[in-house]
Every structure is written in C-alpha cells, then in structure tokens.
C-alpha cells in the first residue's frame, strides 16, 4: 500500500533533561513534494529533523518511511532504504575529483572486494562503467561538467553543495533531507542550487524535506511549509498563507517575558 505520504511522523516526543524539545508532534511529507520545515529558534525543528534522519531516537511516537516503521534506524540503514541527508557543511573527499566523489557513493561495488578485483575483473569493470556513466549523467544534470576532473577540495563552496546534491542522485533517493543548504552560500550560487533542486523535483520526481533559515529560499522552493513552535506543529500551508498568519508572525517576533 504505497501511500501518498513518503514520510509520516506520528506523535513523536523528545526530551533533553528537563527540556521538552519536541512535544507529541505529527507531520508528514507527500511524495513528490518539496516540504519545508521552519520555526523560530528553539522550536524543536532540528530535533525533529534529526529524528527523521535517524540521528536521534524519539522517546515516544514513530517515524514511518514509505509505509515502513523506521523509528530508531541509524542513518546508514536509512540510506539503504532511500532516505538521504545532506549536511550544512559539505562533506567531500577533497583529494578525489568531483567525478570520483560521485562514483564513491553507491556502496557494495564488486570492485571494492579484492577477490573480485583480482579474479572477476570483468564484473568489477562492467559495474564500474555503469556507475561512471551514471555519475557523468549526474554531473551533466548539475552542469558541473567543466569541473568534473577537478579535485573536490578545490571546488567553490557552492559547487561543493551541488556535488553534495549530486551524491543523493547517485543512489536514486526516495527522499532527500536538505539541512540548511543556503548557509554560507552567496546569492548567485544559491539561485543555481535552488533551480537544480527544482529541476530534480519536477524533472526527476525527487521528494525533498527541507530545513532552512532562509525564508526566501523556503518561499521559492517549498509547498507546503510546516511551521513548528515550542515543540509542536502550529501550521501547514503555502508560504504566502504562512506569512499572512498573525499567530506565526507573533511566534517569530517574540512575546514579552512574564514573571510568574
């Protein structure tokens, strides 16, 4: 029963010491959507995101991914099921070329085993050719062709982010979790990054779940946008609607402290 919801978070809570970061929160991500998650500082959105990505185990509640309960699975296990996360700070093998970085992504390649590399070179080679072709496609798609043989360490910050995005394409992720992609990227590159995300969504059908501080990027990419405050989901809808919602404006603008 592949439902319409690719991520379905049901009643999750997480406490750290005396502080409730996420309080009985439910939300979902539709297949094929670019869903944004926003909220003022301390709203619990990072904690929620980390629970979806498998970095934090919820105290209560469950995370359903593509119809299966994945609560408590580790990030690498989620990777195998098709949920991928990009990081705020790009991770790359700086002494490998952009192309090689992409070719590293699919795991369990036959050539990685010494036995295969020595005794079944044909198998190793054919698989590698396949992976290479795929990597070249990805590079073409992201328009990184001119730097494909450049060492990843020499790429610009924005190109590294694109490469990170490309890694998610190497394994045909069902959902890509984007963690603060705009952080530290200048306007032009951000534009480039955003249009690539849009193309991946519309042309290739990728689903994105985005946590982001840059409201303009959220407004451009995401529909729907989910708003969290004080550990709970307080609203969901298109960004224009969210911006018009006085309760959300209040949550962001702050309230006077009251002395008990």
Partner 1 sequence: MPLIELKHVVGGYGGAPILNGVDMAIEASDIGVIVGPNGAGKSTTLKAIFGLLRVTGGTIEFGGENIANSLPDKLVPKGLSFVPQEKNVFTSMTVEENLEMGAFTRTDDFRPTMDWVYSMFPVLAEKRRQPAGELSGGQRQMVAMGRALMSKPKLLMLDEPSAGLSPRYVIEIFETIVRVNKEGVGILMVEQNARQALAFASKGFVLAQGQNRFTGTGPELIADPEVAKSFLGG
Binding site for partner 1 (CB under 8 A): 41, 157, 183-186, 213-216, 218-219, 242-243, 248-250, 252-260
Q: Rounded to whole angstroms, how far apart are CA atoms 219 and 190? A: 13
The residue among 128 and 214 lying less far from partner 1, judged by its C-beta, is 214
CB of 196 to partner 1, least distance (A): 18
The residue among 39 and 166 lying less far from partner 1, judged by its C-beta, is 39
φ/ψ of 71, rounded to 5, equals -55, 130
CA dihedral over 77, 64, 33, 161, signed as positive or negative:
negative
CB of 231 to partner 1, least distance (A): 16
Q: Rounded to whole angstroms, how far apart are CA atoms 146 and 151? A: 12
Structure tokens given for 8: 């379905």
The residue among 199 and 213 lying less far from partner 1, judged by its C-beta, is 213
The residue among 1 and 257 lying less far from partner 1, judged by its C-beta, is 257
- Which of 143, 144, 5, 122 shows the shortest CA–CA distance to 62? 5
CB of 177 to partner 1, least distance (A): 19
* CB neighbours of residue 257 within 10 Å: 6
Q: Which residues contact 147 (CB under 8 A, 6 or more apart)?
A: 98, 155, 159
The residue among 29 and 242 lying less far from partner 1, judged by its C-beta, is 242
CB of 257 to partner 1, least distance (A): 5
The residue among 151 and 189 lying less far from partner 1, judged by its C-beta, is 189
Q: Rounded to whole angstroms, how far apart are CA atoms 226 and 234? A: 8
CB of 44 to partner 1, least distance (A): 15
- Which of 91, 84, 97 shows the shortest CA–CA distance to 161? 91
Q: Rounded to whole angstroms, how far apart are CA atoms 241 and 234? A: 13
CB of 181 to partner 1, least distance (A): 13
């Amino acid at each position: 029963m592949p439902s319409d919801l690719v991520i379905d978070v049901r009643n999750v809570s997480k406490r750290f010491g005396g502080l409730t970061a996420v309080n009985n929160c439910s939300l979902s991500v539709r297949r094929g959507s670019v869903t944004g998650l926003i909220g003022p500082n301390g709203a619990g959105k990072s904690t929620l995101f980390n629970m979806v990505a498998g970095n934090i185990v919820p105290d209560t509640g469950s995370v359903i991914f593509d119809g299966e309960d994945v609560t408590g699975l580790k990030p690498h296990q989620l990777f195998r099921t098709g949920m991928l996360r990009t990081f705020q700070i790009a991770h790359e093998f700086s002494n490998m070329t952009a192309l090689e970085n992409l070719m590293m992504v699919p795991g369990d390649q036959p050539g990685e085993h010494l036995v295969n590399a020595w005794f079944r070179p044909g198998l190793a080679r054919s698989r590698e050719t396949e992976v290479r072709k795929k990597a070249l496609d990805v590079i073409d798609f992201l328009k990184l062709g001119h730097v494909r043989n450049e060492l990843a360490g020499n790429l610009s910050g924005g190109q590294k982010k694109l490469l990170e995005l490309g890694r998610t394409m190497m394994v045909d992720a069902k959902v890509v979790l984007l963690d603060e992609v705009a952080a530290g990227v200048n306007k032009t590159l951000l534009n480039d990054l955003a249009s690539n995300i849009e193309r991946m969504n519309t042309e290739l059908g990728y689903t994105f779940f985005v946590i982001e501080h840059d409201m303009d990027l959220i407004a451009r990419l995401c529909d729907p946008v989910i708003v969290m405050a004080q550990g709970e989901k307080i609203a969901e809808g298109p960004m224009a609607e969210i911006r018009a919602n006085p309760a959300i404006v209040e949550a962001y603008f702050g309230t006077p402290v009251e002395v008990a």
